[in-house]
Amino acid sequence: MTTEPPQTILRISKLRKFFAIRNAWNRRIGWLKAVDDISLEVYRGEILGIVGESGCGKSTLGKTLMGIHKSSGGEVVFEDQPLVNLTRQESRRLSRQLQYSYQDPGASLDPRWKIRRSLHEPLVIHSGLDYQERDERVKSILDAVGLPQGHLELYPHEISGGQQRRVGLARILTLHPSLIILDEPTSGLDVSVQATILSLFLDLKKQFDLTYMFISHDLSVIRMLCDRVAVMYLGKIVELGETETIFNHPRHPYTQSLLAAIPVIGGERITDNFWLEGEPPNPSALPSGCRFRTRCPNALAICAESDPPLRSDWPHQQVACTLAE
């Protein structure tokens, strides 16, 4: 642990992404608040985990940061530059330094292209390098992600899922980014392949001075990898702080239930002890007040009155629960 104050690389304030809900006549009948007033800082050199169950808005957060979705409000500052009203040149430079790796690895690789072309393409768009220079960079990155040169001549369907992830990662790395948003980068992989990919992330981070925003629903992976973690529930961050603090003293009842649900070999059995009931409510018709209250075992009448903000009443930990102490 270093003692110097952390340096912010990305600052998100009150970011929103609402999707319109339309009826059969295409009239808007409401909003789905996929990302609802999220404020967050990412520090240079850290791995920040974003964790939460399916549909809680993790990917929407990542895509809104990247400008893949147009935000419905709020502000994003990356490397001291607000990500709005940029000149073309600035926006190009920033979009090179901030990269998003898609949840579905197939989505980033064109099935008709050989791996070589897929890896050259971002450099063609973003750099003025000639073929020789590009190919040199591509080969050295391929080496870094642990793929043999021979793979340059293969098509995506000819390589395994784990290797596709490596190619996806190589594609991003060719641009020398400073922050990478990794969206569920190991979901669907077998544990043995996941292990190799996770250690690769750690190596590359060291080698290229990277910062990661690591989106995952797998708490064990988050715990092992991340310095800090943000727990999301239905579009909001409900708990945020240092990984060890949050895993050892979760204060939000939702975080507590998530941790209680992870199978821990050698630990207490969830089949004996698990206590959370019910399922998340429909995201387009959220309950009033605290959005966890329909499942929360501690809920009181006041929980229905107002939406609890993140409180910073503890060292290294912020919690959005009225009753947390």
Partner 1 sequence: MTTDLLNVSDLRVSFATDTGVARVLDKVNFSIRRGEIVGLVGESGCGKTTLARAILGVLPVNSARIDGGRIQFQSENLLEMPSERLSKEVRGRTITFIPQDPFSSFNPVFTIGSQITDLMRWKSPLRNTQGLTRGSPWWSLRRYEKQRFKADRARVLELLRAVQLPDPEAILRKYPHEISGGQRQRLMIAQALLPEPQLIIADEPTTALDVTIQAQILKLLRQLAHDRDIAVLFTTHDLGTTYEICDRITVMYAGQEMESATASDFFNRPSHPYTQKLLESLPRDKERIQGIPGDIPTLISPPTGCRFHPRCDRADKTCADTRPAAKSIWTNHTVRCYHPNTDPEVHRELINQPYPDP
Report the site for Mg ion in 1-60 (rule: CB under 5 A).
Answer: 59
Q: Which is nearer to ligand SF4, 107 or 191 (CB)?
A: 191
Token digits for 101? Answer: 């790796």
Structural contact between residues 222 and 212, judged by C-beta atoms closer than 8 angstroms: no
Nearest distance from C-beta of residue 121 to partner 1, angstroms: 27
Report the site for partner 1 in 102-161 (rule: CB under 8 A).
Answer: 160
Q: CB-side exposure of 154: number of CA atoms within 13 Å?
A: 13
Q: Which residue has the tokens 């310095």?
A: 227
Q: Which of 10, 152, 296, 310 binds ligand SF4 (CB under 6 A)?
A: 296
Grouping H, G, I as helix, E, B as strand and the rest as coil, residue 163 is helix
The yes or no reply on residue 56 touching ligand ATP (CB under 6 A) is yes
Token digits for 248? Answer: 């050892």
What distance in Å separates the CA atoms of residue 278 and residue 173, rounded to the nearest whole number?
42
Report the site for partner 1 in 217-246 (rule: CB under 8 A).
Answer: 217-221, 223-225
What distance in Å separates the CA atoms of residue 279 and residue 126, rounded to the nearest whole number?
45
**Stretch of 107-115, 216-224, 240-248, 317-325 lying at the interface with ligand SF4 (CB under 6 A):** 317-325
Q: Which of 9, 10, 12, 32 binds ligand ATP (CB under 6 A)?
A: 32
Structural contact between residues 57 and 35, judged by C-beta atoms closer than 8 angstroms: yes
The yes or no reply on residue 325 touching partner 1 (CB under 8 A) is no
Token digits for 2? Answer: 């270093």
φ/ψ (deg, to 5) at 78: -120, 130
Burial class (CB in 10 A: 0-12, 13-18, 19+), 7: exposed
Q: Which of 298, 305, 312, 313 binds ligand SF4 (CB under 6 A)?
A: 298
The yes or no reply on residue 277 touching partner 1 (CB under 8 A) is yes
Q: Which is nearer to partner 1, 284 or 306 (CB)?
A: 284
DSSP per-residue codes, 265-315: TTS--HHHH----S-PPPTTSPPSSSTTTTT-TT--GGGGTS-PPPEEEET
Structural contact between residues 318 and 239, judged by C-beta atoms closer than 8 angstroms: yes
Report the site for partner 1 in 49-108 (rule: CB under 8 A).
Answer: 53-54
**Stretch of 61-69, 76-84, 87-95, 185-193 lying at the interface with partner 1 (CB under 8 A):** 185-193
Report the site for ligand ATP in 66-125 (rule: CB under 6 A).
Answer: 103
Nearest distance from C-beta of residue 284 to ligand SF4, angstroms: 20
Grouping H, G, I as helix, E, B as strand and the rest as coil, residue 323 is coil
Q: Which of 250, 253, 283, 308 binds ligand ATP (CB under 6 A)?
A: 283
Nearest distance from C-beta of residue 59 to ligand ATP, angstroms: 3
- Interface residues with ligand SF4 (CB under 6 A)? 253, 290, 292-293, 296, 298-299, 303, 308, 321-323
